[in-house]
């Protein structure tokens, strides 16, 4: 996901409410995994993106290959 705007956007990972300030014109990767399969829901608002994983999933956000938010998923 890339913030194509000229200002920061807020990325919110739910249900924990962890937030990442997405810098303008920078790409971020969101990886969601869990024991079961599911669907990631993204809600786009005028100044933020809210990401919801499925029950039992964990999401991690990367910038330039480095983790910037999210819980380290357990070894599977």
The whole-number average pLDDT for the span 32-45 is 92
Three-point CA angle 63, 69, 71, nearest 5°: 130
Is the pLDDT higher at 70 or at 41? 41
Q: Are 29 and 4 in contact (CB under 8 A)?
A: no
> Structural domain boundaries of the chain?
1-38+49-76
Count Cβ atoms below 10 Å from residue 11 Cβ, excluding itself. Answer: 22
Q: What is the pTM of this model?
A: 0.82
The whole-number average pLDDT for the span 56-60 is 90
Could you tell me which of 44, 61, 43 has the C-alpha nearest to residue 52? Answer: 43
């Amino acid at each position: 996901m890339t913030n194509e705007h000229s200002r920061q956007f807020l990325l919110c990972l739910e249900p924990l409410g962890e937030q990442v300030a997405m810098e303008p014109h920078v790409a971020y990767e969101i990886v969601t995994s869990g024991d079961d399969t599911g669907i990631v829901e993204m809600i786009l608002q005028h100044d933020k993106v809210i990401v919801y994983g499925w029950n039992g999933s964990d999401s991690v956000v990367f910038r330039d290959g480095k983790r910037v938010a999210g819980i380290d998923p357990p070894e599977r």
